[in-house]
Amino acid sequence: MIRYIIKRLLYMIPTLFGMSLIAFLIIQLPPGDYLTSMIASMTQSGQNVDPAQIALLRRIYGFDDPIYVQYWKWITGIVTRGDFGHSFEWNRPVSELIWDRMGATLSLSIASLLFVWAVSIPIGIYSAVRRHSISDHVFTFFGFLGLAIPNFILALTLMYVSYRFLGQSVGGLYSPEYTGAPMSWGKLLDLLAHLWIPVIVIGTAGTAKLIRILRANLTDELHKPYVVTARAKGLPEHKVILKYPVRIALNPVVSAIGWVLPELVSGITITAIVLNLPTAGPLLLRALISQDMYLAGSFILLMGVLTLVGMLISDILLALLDPRIRFR
Amino acid sequence: MAEISAIGETGQRPHTGGPVLSVENLSLDFPLRTHILHAVRDVSFTLERGKTLCLVGESGSGKSVTARALMRIVDKPGRISGGTVTLNTDGNPLDVTALPDGSKEILKLRGGKIGLIFQEPMSSLSPVHTIGSQIIEVLRLHRDMSKAEARAETIELLRQVEIPKPEEMIDRYTFEFSGGMRQRAMIAMALACDPDILIADEPTTALDVTTQADILDLIKRLQTSRGMAMLLITHDLGVVAEVADEVAVMRFGRIVETGDVDTIFHAPQHPYTKRLLAATVKLEEGRKAAQGGPAEWSTPILSVREMTKVYGGGTSWFGKVPSALKAVDGVSFDLHAGENLGIVGESGSGKTTLGRLILRITEPTEGKITYRPGPGEEIDVRALSKDKLRDFHRQVRLVFQDPFASLNPRMTVKQVIADPLVVTGGMSGKAIEDKVAHFLELVGLDPLAMERYPHAFSGGQRQRIGIARALALDPKIIVADEATSALDGSIRSQILDLLLDIQRQLDLSYIFISHDISTVRYFCDRVAVMHKGKIVELDAAEKICTAPEMAYTKSLISAVPSPDPRHKRMLHRHRFQA
């Protein structure tokens, strides 16, 4: 097992190198650079641009160097000093910006993942065991509804409900009075009060998907001979189902972790903008628009890392859950 | 542990007299959308201590449902619609059918009083739990043991079912066990709580003959030493003759005939029983319509020389060389025109791989295949290009084992059979249709059936469709890989007769791969016996089956159950150590 993990970690190194290369190429692909887009916006607003100053900036930022030199500077900075470069637009080190946003993104991810599991696993099991019952049809109906409603509409609806009927301040993760305040019990409660809307919005589609997957998988497993064996042992019915078929049907749930992490960074951007959440998505979008290349590149790289880490975690969990994978 | 083995060894139980379980007029209904299916109707039988009742019938006759109903395991939407099941283990008769669903009494009875073993040892144990944990669970459930006690008892049970090194094997997973080992573990589990009744539902159907003989042997011994009653369900009359005391023949949900094993085999009353017996005995005798002898055969149509297939043995990224496995090891044989060559062997002996190598579906590692379509013509199959190989595949066709998996469920029968014709090209739609109709008639199906989908056909009919597909390109050789193993006895002999009939009409040669020796004996002129990738013996079918020379062949032949209770062969069979 440990050998397997070490092997997987070693395999990650060349993959990461390739990813960094691609990430850098992607951000270099659009014509122009941060300065051209800055000049464009400055002339648009009627400001004068001094060509000498621009030339100076170009040299300082290193835009005149060939691409591989720029890449080399960027990647050595990351590897040797943990320095992801400097955000032109924010005029702050990229790492600072990213960690800020990543913290919020991760906590939101984990909260919604837990929400998805907490809701979908029991419902999925129930739906599979009582297939074609009225309650199964009701859950299926709501499941499809959840899949079909665009996230931002759900977000707007919930914001309205929360503002109109619960009298809560909406948007963001904290009420105005706690923004920037140090962590305290009050702030934590405030966070929880705000968290439910994004968690539901982000989790609904995932929950619906997972219910369907679990229901289909478990339906297949329920009629396998080993379930009859368990029943013939004299185990009570709920134990038969939870201990045997459910455990095997859970595999896809665990492997979903792999793509949940990166999806949360890029997939919920619109929701995050609507709800004004301090997550990575909106920041990445802005960085891409303004060609803030180090910020954008680092985000893309980090998403790659998250995908790899997510896959590793889900593979390790799968191996723990299913010995057939462990011994292969 | 000590206390239980004391009971086990002496077979002393509180004897109450009378049957330990009696079933009276049991009926099971399955309400379907349009009508009610009476899966089991008015079934009555009794089980006595130390005796074995065999429930015989073809698939779909309601054997398994009946057996499971005794433990009140009835899949939805089925229900027990009438009759009683009375369990009398300790002098207090208990009506099982009257107990409420999921009640404690039922749970106590399952595993505690009645043990169940069933067919597929591959899937009847959970793949994600260790063998030990699954057995320990039963012990803790019914016998109130501590974890350590249950573990010790489990090791003892595994030893009783003759699993080597039980201390180690207890922590292994099911996929690390072979089929026979899994069935042993399953038996250990069923016997863990010393049940009064053992239900064995086709316990050896999925196993090789020698393993089957070992397992039946084991079950029989454990049954005698523990004084259990056994209900054995099977469709194999050979197994019945070997182990049964009483036999009940089931058909369409009813028991048509009951009697002691000798009466059933030697003085059957019901026409269905007679038919079942006729289909079996036929296989046991030699080939009826032996046409021609070896003298007539001139040049072989297909010659295989020193065929070898090695799996593994490459290098991985980390430079480790996994041990190579020789699936087929230096096999040579000739197939003559019009000959039926049987290849028999146990699972893992390389017979299926050999079939695939001949067709080059799997690329051989070494060896030479020479195909002679006509006089003077010689084709080196291994040197063929992709296009030429396609021509070769037109003349050498494959029929698969599983009639349910080998037909695309979304294609009509016409599409299935016409597919090879369409691929070859050069025929109009009408000509193809005529040809399909012709082949359907040839395999004994109504040409009008060509617009229907495979699910509308039974297993035997599907296998006929598979054969029609193989015939579509006028082949010279047909490689039939376990083509009849998934079929019931009477249907199997129909298919075999069909194959022989077609051979007479179309001048075919067969390579018939099978694990079932009686089938091979009926069908083949010569037989090659494979063991661990090598051909150990190759001779006329009669000779192999009646006077085998090699030790391995002897053990294989003697493990085949004989469908005659007066000549139980397995009791004094040869054992082969290798």
For chain A, domain boundaries: 2-94, 95-326
Is the pLDDT confidence value at A131 over 80? yes
**Dihedral of the CA atoms A115, A116, A122, A127 (nearest 10)?**
150
Identify all chain B residues contacting A13, using CB atoms and an 8 Å cutoff: none
Q: Confidence class of residue B297 from pLDDT cuts 50, 70 and 90?
A: low
Q: Are B272 and B346 members of one domain?
A: no
Interface test with B, best of A9, A131, A229 (most B CBs within 10 A): A229
Nearest to B73 among A228, A322, A323 (CB): A228
Q: How big is chain A by its Cα radius of gyration, in Å?
A: 24
Residue B169 lies in a domain: no
Q: Are B218 and B299 members of one domain?
A: no
Residue B160, both tokens:
């009783």
CATH number at residue B100: 3.40.50.300
Q: Provide the 3-class DSSP secondary structure of residue B319.
A: coil
Residue B559 to residue B518: CA distance in whole angstroms? 11
> Looking at the complex, does the CB of residue B132 fall below 8 Å from at least one CB of chain A?
no
Decide if B559 contacts B213 (C-beta within 8 A): yes
Is the pLDDT confidence value at B320 over 80? no
Of the residues B284, B302, B332, the one at which a domain ends: B284
Output the pLDDT for position B155. 93
Output the pLDDT for position B30. 85
Share of chain B above pLDDT 90, in %: 13
Is the pLDDT confidence value at B232 over 90? yes
Q: Confidence class of residue A261 from pLDDT cuts 50, 70 and 90?
A: low
Identify all chain B residues contacting A232, using CB atoms and an 8 Å cutoff: 71, 73, 110-111, 114-116, 190
Of the residues B284, B303, B330, the one at which a domain ends: B284
Q: How far does chain A reach from its first CA to its final CA, in angstroms? A: 11
Average pLDDT, chain B: 83
Residue B75 to residue B72: CA distance in whole angstroms? 9
Q: Are B482 and B392 members of one domain?
A: yes
Give the CA distances from residue A84 to residues A277, A306, B535, in Å, rounded to whole numbers and listed in that order. 23, 16, 67
Q: Are strands B114-118 and B526-531 parallel, antiparallel or unpaired?
A: unpaired
Q: Confidence class of residue A123 from pLDDT cuts 50, 70 and 90?
A: very high
> Looking at the complex, does the CB of residue B318 fall below 8 Å from at least one CB of chain A?
yes
Mean pLDDT of B31-59: 87
Q: Are B488 and B340 members of one domain?
A: yes
More confident residue, B242 or A40: B242
Alpha-carbon gap: B9 to the closest alpha carbon of chain A (Å): 23
More confident residue, B218 or B486: B218
Residue B16 to residue B534: CA distance in whole angstroms? 55
Alpha-carbon gap: B206 to the closest alpha carbon of chain A (Å): 14
Output the pLDDT for position B569. 67
Give the CA distances from residue A134 to residues A130, A139, A140, A210, A238, in Å, rounded to whole numbers and listed in that order. 9, 9, 10, 20, 20
Residue B522 to residue B542: CA distance in whole angstroms? 9
Give the CA distances from residue A235 to residues A38, A227, A229, in Å, rounded to whole numbers and listed in that order. 70, 10, 10
Mean pLDDT of A194-222: 86
pLDDT in tens, A147-173: 888 888 888 888 888 888 877 766 677
Give the CA distances from residue B415 to residues A79, B216, B410, B468, in Å, rounded to whole numbers and listed in that order. 61, 44, 9, 12
Residue B480, both tokens:
């039939």
* Other beta carbons less than 10 A from residue B166's beta carbon: 19
Interchain pair A237, B120: CB under 8 A: no
Identify all chain B residues contacting A231, using CB atoms and an 8 Å cutoff: 73, 110
In chain A, where does DSSP find H-type helix? 2-28, 34-44, 51-61, 67-76, 94-129, 134-148, 151-165, 185-222, 225-232, 237-243, 245-249, 251-255, 257-266, 269-275, 280-289, 293-321, 323-326
Q: How big is chain B by its Cα radius of gyration, in Å?
A: 26
Mean pLDDT of A29-35: 74
Q: Are B61 and B109 members of one domain?
A: yes
Output the pLDDT for position A68. 83
Output the pLDDT for position B559. 84
Residue B366 lies in a domain: yes
Give the CA distances from residue A116 to residues A202, A260, B106, B473, B534, in Å, rounded to whole numbers and listed in that order. 9, 11, 37, 55, 56
Among A271-280, B418-427, B481-490, B534-543, name the most confident range: B534-543
Is the pLDDT confidence value at B231 over 90? yes
Average pLDDT, chain A: 82
> Looking at the complex, does the CB of residue B251 fall below 8 Å from at least one CB of chain A?
no
* Other beta carbons less than 10 A from residue B566's beta carbon: 10
Sign for the pseudo-dihedral over CA of B430, B435, B436, B438: positive
Residue B188 to residue A325: CA distance in whole angstroms? 26
Task: Give B122's contacts (C-beta < 8 A, 6+ positions apart).
Answer: B179, B182, B206
Share of chain A above pLDDT 70, in %: 95
Output the pLDDT for position B6. 39
Q: Are B92 and B33 members of one domain?
A: yes
Output the pLDDT for position B112. 87
Identify all chain B residues contacting A226, using CB atoms and an 8 Å cutoff: 123-127
CB pairs under 8 A between A and B: 81
Least confident window among B81-85, B245-249, B436-440, B493-497 = B493-497
Residue B274 lies in a domain: yes
Output the pLDDT for position B511. 92
Alpha-carbon gap: A156 to the closest alpha carbon of chain B (Å): 45
Residue B192 to residue B186: CA distance in whole angstroms? 10
Domains held by chain B: number? 2
Is the complex ipTM more than 0.85? no
Q: Look up the CATH superfamily of A95-326.
A: MetI-like (1.10.3720.10)
Output the pLDDT for position B570. 64
Identify all chain A residues contacting B71, using CB atoms and an 8 Å cutoff: 232
Angle separating helix axes A51-61 and A34-44, nearest 10 degrees: 150
What burial letters (b/e) apply to B219-240, b meaning 16+ CB within 10 Å? bbebbebbbbbbbbbbbbbbbb
Residue B143 lies in a domain: no
Interchain pair B110, A233: CB under 8 A: yes
Residue B162 lies in a domain: no
Q: Are B212 and B306 members of one domain?
A: no
Interchain pair A323, B118: CB under 8 A: no
Q: Are B527 and B410 members of one domain?
A: yes
Compute the C-alpha angle A122/A126/A131, nearest 5°.
Answer: 150
Q: Are B500 and B352 members of one domain?
A: yes
Is the pLDDT confidence value at B4 over 60? no
Output the pLDDT for position B8. 39
The residue range of the domain holding B20 is 2-119+196-284
Residue B203 to residue B187: CA distance in whole angstroms? 9
Residue B319 lies in a domain: yes
Q: Are strands B94-95 and B79-87 parallel, antiparallel or unpaired?
A: antiparallel
Is the pLDDT confidence value at A309 over 90? no
Decide if A115 contacts A207 (C-beta within 8 A): yes
Residue B216 lies in a domain: yes
More confident residue, B493 or B8: B493
